[in-house]
């Protein structure tokens, strides 16, 4: 577990099946990844069951985001993905449930995942890909020190059109 002031990042648990099923099958979120079809409960159960494998085995690692208060709730998830051990880099993605957005939870979750990736895992860099129609995420990551290093033209399909994606990187200047 990675603890912050208002939230904690934790491993997936079997109890997460209902919320994971809801989020992974929310078609509004599909275009932020590469999802093209719904996930069955069975597939998500297997995903949770195998989530104990480390990032060196699977190339990805998902944390659930829980509030730390009198009534803790799971409010989102943050992923390290496309991990490349030789280059010591990983992508980072975040999803905060709509009811909990713009309350600082996403900002704290990014702080915690950066700390985990750089101080514990000793990654050299993190990157993220943000579509041009997601200005909130662009502001969030830039506020955390990520620098926009490129734009991928017509990279993501939205219905019948393609939109650009910004590529951002955060370099660990203390990497050993």
Q: Mind listing the domains of the chain with CATH numbers?
A: 2-129 (3.40.630.30)
What are the structure tokens assigned to 143, written together?
């506020």
Q: Tens digit of pLDDT for each residue in 116-136?
A: 999 999 999 999 999 999 999
User: Do 99 and 140 touch, CB atoms closer than 8 A?
Assistant: no
pLDDT higher than 60, residue 89: yes
User: Do 80 and 117 touch, CB atoms closer than 8 A?
Assistant: yes
From first CA to last CA, the distance across the chain in angstroms is: 24
pLDDT score, position 39? 63
Cut 0.95: pTM above it: no
What are the structure tokens assigned to 70, written together?
């009198």
> What is the number of alpha carbons within 13 Å of residue 80 lying toward its C-beta?
31
Using CA atoms, how far apart are residues 134 and 125, in angstroms rounded to an integer? Answer: 22
Using CA atoms, how far apart are residues 86 and 92, in angstroms rounded to an integer? Answer: 17
pLDDT score, position 86? 95
Q: Averaged over 64-82, what is the pLDDT? A: 93
Alpha carbon separation from 45 to 21, 31, 118, 175 (Å, rounded): 9, 23, 30, 36
How sure is the predictor about 67, in pLDDT bands with cuts at 50, 70 and 90?
very high
């Amino acid at each position: 577990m990675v603890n912050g002031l208002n939230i904690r990042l934790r491993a997936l648990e079997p109890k997460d099946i209902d919320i994971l099923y809801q989020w992974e099958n929310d078609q509004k979120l599909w275009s932020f990844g590469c999802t093209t079809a719904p996930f069955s409960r069975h597939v998500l159960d297997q995903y949770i069951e195998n989530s104990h494998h480390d990032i060196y085995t699977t190339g990805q690692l998902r944390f659930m985001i829980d509030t730390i208060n009198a009534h803790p709730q799971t409010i989102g998830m943050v992923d390290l993905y496309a991990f490349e051990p030789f280059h010591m880099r990983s992508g980072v993605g975040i999803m905060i449930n709509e009811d909990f957005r713009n309350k600082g939870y996403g900002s704290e979750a990014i702080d915690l995942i950066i700390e985990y990736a750089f101080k514990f895992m000793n990654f050299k860099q993190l990157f993220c890909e943000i579509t041009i129609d997601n200005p909130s995420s662009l502001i969030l990551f830039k506020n955390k020190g990520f620098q926009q290093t490129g734009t991928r033209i017509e990279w993501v399909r939205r219905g019948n059109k393609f939109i650009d994606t910004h590529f951002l990187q955060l370099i660990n200047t203390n990497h050993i």
